[in-house]
Amino acid sequence: MILGIDHVGVAVKDPEAAGKLLTALGMSQGETGTADEYGVACEFWGLSGKPEEVSVELVSPTREDSSVQSQLAKKGPGAYHIALEVDDLAAEMTRLRSQGFVQLDAEPCAGAREGMQVAFFYLGRAAGFLIELVQYSTPRRAQ
């Protein structure tokens, strides 16, 4: 079951410059981390600092073959995924796959936050972005 929107992922080349823009909006940086499977560094920004808040994730590459390198090279910085918190990642992966969404990760991968497991899907040209399914070891939203 989908519990709620967890964050919006934004690919950036220069997280410091992007962070200044979010600061000007009144947001502050919360958790940071890396997702080594994808070759990215992540900063989570929000307004309240509450764990259940929908946050903005600034995603920047840490290596040449980073998962965001192609998007940055072709389209430049911008939003590219919406993350949904789920209560059962394996079950939701099966459900989305059965509905015809393209699965990017054969198995769940470690996300950039503590206790975070993730899997990406492609939604289709009509939407033009990715969905990241997220499950936390301790859920952030009510079930």
Partner 1 sequence: MADTQSVTDGVLDILEDVLEIPRADLEAHPTLRDHENWDSMGALEILSQVEGRFGVQLDLREFNAAKTVDELASAVSAGIK
**How far, in Å, CA of 9 to CA of 82, rounded?**
6
Question: Could you write out the DSSP letters of every residue in 50-90?
Answer: -TTS-EEEEEEESSTT-TTHHHHHHH-SEEEEEEEEES-HH
Q: Which is nearer to partner 1, 17 or 102 (by Cβ)?
A: 102
**Shortest distance, position 124 Cβ to partner 1, whole Å:** 6
Among 24, 64, 65, 74, binds partner 1 (CB under 8 A): 74
**Shortest distance, position 49 Cβ to partner 1, whole Å:** 32
Separation of CA 30 from chain center: 14
Which residues within the stretch 99-128 sit at the binding site for partner 1 (CB under 8 A)? 100-104, 106, 122, 124-125, 128
**How far, in Å, CA of 121 to CA of 37, rounded?**
15
Per-residue mark of binding to partner 1, 17-56 (x: CB under 8 A): ----------------------------------------
**How far, in Å, CA of 95 to CA of 45, rounded?**
30
Binding footprint of partner 1 on the chain (CB under 8 A): 67, 70-71, 74-75, 97, 100-104, 106, 122, 124-125, 128
